[in-house]
Amino acid sequence: MDFTSAPLPPDPHMCNSTDSTTRSPLSLYSEYQRMDIELRIPEYMDACHWHGQVEVNVPFDGDVEYLINNEVVQIKQGHITLFWACTPHQLTCPGSCSNMAIFNLPMHLFLSWPLDKQLINHVTHGMVIKSLAAQQLSPFEVRRWQQEINSPNEQIRQLAIDEIGLMLKRFSLSGWQPILVNKTARSRSSGNSVSRHARFYVSQMLEFIGANHDRPLTIESVAEHVKLNPNYAMGIFQRVMQLTMKQYITAMRVNHVRALLSDTDKSILDIALTAGFHSSSSFYSTFNKYVGMSPQHYRKLRQQRGAIG
């Protein structure tokens, strides 16, 4: 069986902090996101990037290091690690690893799988999650899935997607722990099951938020778009996403600020406006609440890390 695959074209839902015009993480959600699977040598990244999918990394023959929200995160050989990639991240040390699996999973697909609600809560709140055990996945399986998700046979494609979902189900049942904890308070996870009906409406809400991220957004305007009562819309959004609509919008805007503080020399006021904050006082208090320090201090620390690297 031939496991080779052609290089993927550039992903329209991928954004780099060095782009001439950066896009908000809010704008990157799409039901049309594709699933990407790579098996390759990990490469050093000059700057951070972000995208709307959930990213899963498995280094098979060595440890690698990322900088995620200005924190060093070591991904150990053989362990499955996942995080929501709308968080700005940068691979800073490939080490001796020469073979790493990288999955980019569309968020709407990730939310449709029957995973531990606490795990979903951690991921949507910007944490990095690691399997407790190593060697739960082999390069052979990754190569096969890599080929099968591009198969012309729809049943083969769906089989590969189902198997990847089961791989994450096994991950969620076999033991995991957060290795990067977000400083913001987490919502209490809901034990209620989520219906396909609810996921459909939340997907429509996320699309609307993405299309209007640069305008003032209210719960009423989002609920009106999907023709739901605002209280009901808020309730199903929180059940599916494991965070409130306001938390989601604010966290994505803070992520955008972090990336621009890290890799550009724009003024802090310009960055705040670009990310969708329209009041400087509100911006400074929100950033301090979510990050635990001022924007100036965050930029200084990031520059110091860059100089050391």
- Delineate the domains of the chain, giving CATH numbers in brackets: 14-180 (2.60.120.10)
Task: Provide the pLDDT for residue 112.
Answer: 86
CA distance 7 to 112: 28
More reliable by pLDDT, 19 or 248: 248
Confidence of residue 45 (pLDDT cuts 50, 70, 90): very high
Q: Which two tokens stand for residue 283?
A: 């911006």
Q: Tell me the average pLDDT across 85-103.
A: 94
Q: Is residue 12's pLDDT more than 80?
A: no
Kindly tell me if the per-residue pLDDT of 7 is higher than 50.
no
3-state secondary structure of 103: strand
In Å, what is the CA distance from 89 to each residue of 17, 45, 86, 158, 299?
Answer: 10, 9, 8, 29, 15
Q: How confident is the model at residue 73 (pLDDT cuts 50, 70, 90)?
A: very high
Residue 301 pLDDT greater than 60, yes or no: yes
Strand ranges of the sheet holding 71-75, from the earlier edge strand across to the other edge: 14-16, 49-51, 89-93, 64-68, 71-75
E strand residue ranges, the chain? 14-16, 36-40, 49-51, 54-59, 64-68, 71-75, 81-84, 89-93, 100-105, 128-131, 176-180
- Rounded to whole angstroms, the Cα distance separating 192 from 101 reads 33
- Whether 48 and 263 have beta carbons less than 8 Å apart is answered as yes
* Per-residue model confidence (pLDDT) at position 304: 79
Looking at the whole model, is its pTM more than 0.95? no
Please check the confidence at residue 103 and state whether its pLDDT lies above 60.
Answer: yes
**pLDDT at residue 187 greater than cutoff 60:** no
> SS3 for 215?
coil
Q: How would residue 5 be classed by pLDDT, with cut points 50, 70 and 90?
A: very low
φ/ψ (deg, to 5) at 285: -70, -40
Indicate the average pLDDT of the chain: 86
Please state, for a pLDDT cut of 90, what percent of the chain lies above it: 54
- The confidence score (pLDDT) of residue 33 equals 75
CB 243 within 8 A of CB 124: yes
The helix/strand/coil state of 149 is coil
Measured CA to CA, the distance from residue 309 to residue 305 in angstroms comes to 6
Residue carrying the six token digits 């396909």: 196
pLDDT score of 15 more than 80: no
* Reported confidence tier of residue 215, pLDDT bands at 50, 70, 90: confident
Helix (H) or strand (E) holding 301: helix 295-308
Residue 192 pLDDT greater than 60, yes or no: no
C-beta of residue 264 within 8 angstroms of C-beta of residue 234: no
Question: What integer is the mean pLDDT of 155-183?
Answer: 90
Confidence band, pLDDT 50/70/90 cuts, at residue 196: confident
- pLDDT at residue 189 greater than cutoff 70: no
DSSP class of residue 117 equals H
**Max CA pair span of the chain:** 60
Question: What pLDDT, on the 0 to 100 scale, is given for residue 1?
Answer: 43
Placement of tokens 């700005």 in the chain? 88
- Rounded to an integer, the average pLDDT of 205-231 is 90
Q: Tell me the one-letter amino acid at 70.
A: N
Give the residue ranges of DSSP H helices in 44-184. 107-112, 117-124, 139-148, 154-174
- Residue 97 confidence (pLDDT): 97
264 CB-side CA count, 13 A: 22
